[in-house]
Amino acid sequence: MMRNLVAAVGTAFLLAACQQPAATPPPPPASPTAYANPLPDARFVGFAQTVNDFQVQSGRLALTKSSNQLVRGYATRAIDEYTANAQSLSRNRNSAGVTYAPEENVKSIADDSMSRLSSLQGPAFDKAYADAQVRVQNAAVNQFGAYGGNPNASGPLRRYAQEMLPKSQAQLEYAKRLAGGV
C-alpha cells in the first residue's frame, strides 16, 4: 500500500514537471481607433529615425552606466534591433523618395530622457531607463499603427510602419516587464 502511494505521488510529480507552462498569448493589437493621427511622410521618417536613434544611444548609455543584468540585456537587444531598423528605414525612405523632417514631440521625449539618463547612476538610472523605454515605445506603437493604417501614406514607408508595429508592441511589453523588474 505504501509502495502504491509512493508510486502515485512520484507519478504526479513527474507529470507536473513534464507539463509545459501555458504560453501567454500575445496581446491583441490595439484597434486602429486607439492610434494617434498619422504624421505626414517626412515627419514620419523623422519620428521613426528619432526612435531608432534614441534606442541605440540610450542602449549604449545603459551598457556603460548599469550593472543590472535585465537593463543590460534589454539594452543589448535594443542596440541590435534598432540599428537594423534604422537601416531598413533608410532603404524605405530612399525608395519612397522622402526627405527627413524632425518630429518635435518624440524628439523632445528622447532629448529630455537622454539628458536625465546622463545625470543618473545605479538603481535610479535603471528605473529612469526602463520608464523612458516604456514612454518611447508607447509613442512608437501609436504612430506605427496610425501611419501603417493610413491608405494615403507612402507605400514603402507604410510597409515599414506595418513591419515595425508588431516589433514595437513586443518591445513595449519587454519595456513594461523591465520597468516592473528594476
24-56 residue pLDDT tens: 333 333 333 344 689 999 999 999 999 999 999
Q: Provide CATH code, domain 41-181.
A: 1.20.1260.10
The closest of 169, 182, 127 to 30, measured between CA atoms, is 169
Please answer whether residues 72 and 62 qualify as being in contact, where contact means their C-beta atoms are separated by less than 8 angstroms.
Answer: yes
Q: Using CA of residue 80, residue 83, residue 89, residue 95, what is the dihedral sign?
A: negative
Cell numbers standing for residue 16: 507536473
Give the other-Cβ count within 10 Å of 3's Cβ: 7
pTM of the model: 0.79
Which sign, positive or negative, has the C-alpha torsion 136, 140, 141, 142? positive
- The answer to whether the CB of 174 falls within 8 A of the CB of 134 is no
pLDDT of residue 36: 67
- CA neighbor of 55 nearest in space, from 164, 156, 157: 164
Residues in the chain predicted with pLDDT less than 70, given as ranges, are: 1-36
Question: What was the pLDDT predicted at 182?
Answer: 82
Q: What is the rounded distance in angstroms from the CA atom of residue 157 to the CA atom of residue 36?
A: 17
